[in-house]
Amino acid sequence: MTKTELYILIAVFLFLTVALVWTGAKMWLDVRKRRQNSGHRGKRTV
């Protein structure tokens, strides 16, 4: 394997990791917002 291929592989894996973390954090924040909104109505679900 050449150095160029190695750098490309590292870049792809870094991009995939960042994309996964980004979407995961977004989903987690959406879930937190929904829980807070539903909590104000008086119902609390665990």
- Give the single-character DSSP code of 46: -
pLDDT band at 45 (very low <50, low <70, confident <90, very high): low
Record the pTM.
0.61
The predicted-structure confidence for 12-37, as pLDDT tens digits, reads as follows: 999 999 999 999 999 999 998 888 88
Q: Is the pLDDT of residue 44 over 60?
A: no
Q: What is the Cα–Cα distance from 18 to 3, expressed in whole angstroms?
A: 22
Scan for tokens 């909590």, then name that residue.
39
Please enumerate in sequence order all residues whose Cβ is within 8 A of that of 45, keeping only pairs 6 or more positions apart, or say none: 35, 38
38 neighbors 45 (Cβ within 8 angstroms): yes
pLDDT at res. 40: 62
pLDDT at res. 34: 86
